[in-house]
């Protein structure tokens, strides 16, 4: 029997947030009165009741602005959520069961997300992870159902789903989502699928269309403390961790985002963030849909589609987009696309996050498009958002705006001994950022990971280094693990990156610490160049040396790369750069050893070579002809480094 629901008003901004005092005004109302919605499912019921036939989601079949898209209204979206939840219920899914999702950008992703949360616990998966990592994540979450894309055109997802399905012992069902352009004959028969004998393969659309569209058959009452989702963190290297989100976490993120961004039915956003990532799912999608905004999905490949980038300004004109959301690398790509005759006057807000914003890129965006880039801070551990710079608030680069209403922030000293209580620093002083907030997650599935995420007295350790300014805004100065520590001197890599970013030939840049036997770390930088630009590493090194006032912070070398290592969500992947910096250091040590052993200069690297694909440590292989003395000398030099380097000899 279906539960009787109280229909509430959709989320809307109570006041325009321009000062920290406005945030405090919101907090004057008790939290339980300000946010009365208990689940993401309730958000969609409220939105459908308020907005009915208004457009909720539009999927772009191609990046051509002239092509006809597929649009779902709020009423249609809610019907699909009901059908999806009921289909999962018919498969035996209970509120504590996990539904894994392996999809590209598509309308059905929203059915899987929100219908899945109405039926059980969703687990969005990064399709670019290896089979082994996906199997590990699904096994840890005890996934019962996998909703997967039924095509190999976009990342070979269907083949991947079939491969990994048989390796997850808890899995009972794989639901195949047909591509939007598939013929009926493409989806009618799944009998030829070869998976584990105990796994059912069913057609997602065919099954859901047999289900009631007006209510949850389960009659489930979803409470704020119920688990809504498992989102994995990282995952490009090492073991991803599964963060536990409750419905209350996600609902609060939606409400707070609406308050600080002023989201309303007048707003249209092109959401290019991946939907396995919290930024795309929660502050971008859920917040917008909770307030009646129109969300555009720019093809299955999203912003990885080069045609979407090339046509972006025309798409803004076609759909009258009001907000531009994207990571800094997306903004850098858009800065290369001329507006030409496109009318982009509808855009009134530009927001970025997920990675540091280069100062030169921010200035360039303002010069070219007349848009200030507003920054935000988001974390998987805080259901996607921690602080936002609202429209109309102009902050300096690295200012990520006001912490969310009802959130508490501490800035504590970085040099406190392990096991000692955190020590607060004065206002304006730099330290580690800690949070308590209604959207701070319950923890990770692994209790050991949870223990490391919080201080003993329950504050979330963000890993971000920053300060609160006199206006109550949070300003970031990098990640604690990204700080370059040279002989006890803390160097902010952003200082180097901003300097290099001012060079006209530099497209992207990043600074990291290279291991050094004496100083611990030395600053080095990596860059990619603008198309057609011509400069040298020596010229860039001289340029940045003049730009950086702090002598210890001047990089020891600058390396030009053909491409920058990136994560799947558009961040520069510094672990790869740190590894490359280590390899460069080791190569120089090898070059020291051979001449000292009497080798001719042209051949002095021959006795030793670095194994490029060794993981996770850097590995040096000695040639069979290398003497014990040469190996011992190199081993002695390698052992002095503050990182692990393995020397294999015969």
CA distance to 21, 200, 268, 616, per residue, from 393 (Å): 13, 53, 20, 43
If residue 493 lies in a helix (H) or strand (E), which one and from where to where?
helix 493-501
pLDDT recorded at residue 616: 60
- Report DSSP state, residue 482: G
Judgement on whether residues 95 and 138 belong to the same structural domain of the protein: yes
Judgement on whether residues 364 and 216 belong to the same structural domain of the protein: yes
pLDDT recorded at residue 242: 95
How far is 586 from 637, CA to CA, in rounded Å? 9
pLDDT recorded at residue 603: 38
Contact 8, 36 (CB under 8 A): yes
Whether residue 577 is contained in a domain is answered as no
Highest mean pLDDT among 218-227, 229-238, 474-483: 218-227
Judgement on whether residues 131 and 199 belong to the same structural domain of the protein: yes
Whether residue 311 is contained in a domain is answered as yes
Q: What are phi and psi of 62, to 5 degrees?
A: -135, 175
Share of the chain above pLDDT 90, in %: 66
pLDDT in tens, 2-55: 456 788 999 999 999 999 999 999 999 999 999 999 999 999 999 999 999 999
pLDDT in tens, 617-641: 788 887 777 777 888 888 888 877 7
Structure tokens at 424: 């607060």
Judgement on whether residues 369 and 504 belong to the same structural domain of the protein: no
Task: Identify any residues that bridge with 145 across adjacent strands, giving them in sequence order.
Answer: 99, 173
Whether residue 50 is contained in a domain is answered as yes
Q: Where are the extended beta strands (E) located within 545-622? A: 558-560, 608-611, 618-622
Of 322, 348, 288, 258, the C-alpha closest to 14 is 258
Confidence class for position 650, pLDDT limits 50, 70, 90: low
Domain count across the chain = 3
Regarding predicted confidence, which is higher, 479 or 558? 558
Bin 152: left if φ > 0, else alpha if -120 < ψ < 50, else beta. alpha
Query: Prior bond to 300 cis, omega within 30?
Result: no
Whether 335 shows a pLDDT value over 60: the answer reads: yes
Whether residue 22 is contained in a domain is answered as no
Confidence class for position 197, pLDDT limits 50, 70, 90: low
pLDDT recorded at residue 262: 94
CATH for 564: 3.30.300.30
pLDDT in tens, 591-606: 887 654 444 443 344 5
Whether residue 154 is contained in a domain is answered as yes
Judgement on whether residues 531 and 600 belong to the same structural domain of the protein: no
For residue 392, give its domain range: 37-467
- Mean pLDDT over 639-649 rounds to 79
Task: Identify any residues that bridge with 220 across adjacent strands, giving them in sequence order.
Answer: none
How far is 315 from 395, CA to CA, in rounded Å? 28
CATH for 406: 3.40.50.12780
Of 98, 120, 104, 101, the C-alpha closest to 112 is 101
Query: Prior bond to 616 cis, omega within 30?
Result: yes
Structure tokens at 129: 């992870």
Judgement on whether residues 561 and 603 belong to the same structural domain of the protein: no
Judgement on whether residues 79 and 118 belong to the same structural domain of the protein: yes
Confidence class for position 355, pLDDT limits 50, 70, 90: confident
Contact 583, 515 (CB under 8 A): no
- How many whole angstroms from its chain centre is CA 358? 18
């Amino acid at each position: 029997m279906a539960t009787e629901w109280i229909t509430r008003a959709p989320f809307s901004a109570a006041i325009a947030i321009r000062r920290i005092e406005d945030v405090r005004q919101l907090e004057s109302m008790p939290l339980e009165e300000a946010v009365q919605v208990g689940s993401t499912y309730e958000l969609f019921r409220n939105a459908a009741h308020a907005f009915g036939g208004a457009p909720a989601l539009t999927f772009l079949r191609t990046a051509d602005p002239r092509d006809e898209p597929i649009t779902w209204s709020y009423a249609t979206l809610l019907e699909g959520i009901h059908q999806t939840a009921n289909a999962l219920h018919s498969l035996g899914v209970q509120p504590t069961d996990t539904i894994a999702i392996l999809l590209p950008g598509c309308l059905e992703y929203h059915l899987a997300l929100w219908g899945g949360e109405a039926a059980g616990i969703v687990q969005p998966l990064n399709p670019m992870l290896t089979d082994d990592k996906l199997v590990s994540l699904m096994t840890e979450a005890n996934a019962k159902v996998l909703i997967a894309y039924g095509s190999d055109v976009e990342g070979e997802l269907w083949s991947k789903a079939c491969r990994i399905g048989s390796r997850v012992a808890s899995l009972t069902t794989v639901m195949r989502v047909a591509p939007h352009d598939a013929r009926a004959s493409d989806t009618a028969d799944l009998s030829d699928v070869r998976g584990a004998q105990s796994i059912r393969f069913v057609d997602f659309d065919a099954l859901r269309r047999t289900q009631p569209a007006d209510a949850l058959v389960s009659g489930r009452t979803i409470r704020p403390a119920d688990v809504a989702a498992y989102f994995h963190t990282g995952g490009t290297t090492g073991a991803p961790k599964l963060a536990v989100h409750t419905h209350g976490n996600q609902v609060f993120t939606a409400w707070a985002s609406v308050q600080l961004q002023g989201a309303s039915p007048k707003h249209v956003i092109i959401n290019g963030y991946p939907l396995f990532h919290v930024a795309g799912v929660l502050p971008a999608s859920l917040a917008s849909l909770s307030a009646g905004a129109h969300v555009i999905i720019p093809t299955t490949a999203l912003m990885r589609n080069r045609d979407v980038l090339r046509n972006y300004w025309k798409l803004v004109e076609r759909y009258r987009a009001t907000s531009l959301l994207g990571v800094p690398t997306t903004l850098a790509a858009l800065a290369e696309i001329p507006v030409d005759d496109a009318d982009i006057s509808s855009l009134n807000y530009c927001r970025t996050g997920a990675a540091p914003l280069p100062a030169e890129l921010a200035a360039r965006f303002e010069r070219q498009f007349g848009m200030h880039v507003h920054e935000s801070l988001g974390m998987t551990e805080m259901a996607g958002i921690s602080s936002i710079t609202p429209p109309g608030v102009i902050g300096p680069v690295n200012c990520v705006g006001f912490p969310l209403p009802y959130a508490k922030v501490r800035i504590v000293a970085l040099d406190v001994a392990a096991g000692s209580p955190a020590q607060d620093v004065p206002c304006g002083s730099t330290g580690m950022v800690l949070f308590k907030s209604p959207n701070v997650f319950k923890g990770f599935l692994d209790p050991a990971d949870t223990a490391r995420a919080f201080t003993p007295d329950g504050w979330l350790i963000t890993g971000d280094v920053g300060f609160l300014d006199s206006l109550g805004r949070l300003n970031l100065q990098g990640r604690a693990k990204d700080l370059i520590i040279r002989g006890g001197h803390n160097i902010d890599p952003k200082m180097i990156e901003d300097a290099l970013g001012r060079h006209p030939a530099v497209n992207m840049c990043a600074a990291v610490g290279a291991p050094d036997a004496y100083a611990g770390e030395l600053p080095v930088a990596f860059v990619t160049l603008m198309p057609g630009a011509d400069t040298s590493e020596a010229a860039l090194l001289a340029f940045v040396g003049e730009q950086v006032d702090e002598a210890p912070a001047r990089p020891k070398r600058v390396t030009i790369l053909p491409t920058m290592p990136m994560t799947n969500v558009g961040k520069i992947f510094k672990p790869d750069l740190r590894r490359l910096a280590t390899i460069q250091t080791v190569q120089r040590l090898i070059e020291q050893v051979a001449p000292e052993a009497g080798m001719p200069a042209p051949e002095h690297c021959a006795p030793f070579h670095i194994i490029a694909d060794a993981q996770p440590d850097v590995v040096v292989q000695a040639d069979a002809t290398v003497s014990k003395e040469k190996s011992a000398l190199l081993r002695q030099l390698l052992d002095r480094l503050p990182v692990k380097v393995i020397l294999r000899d015969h």
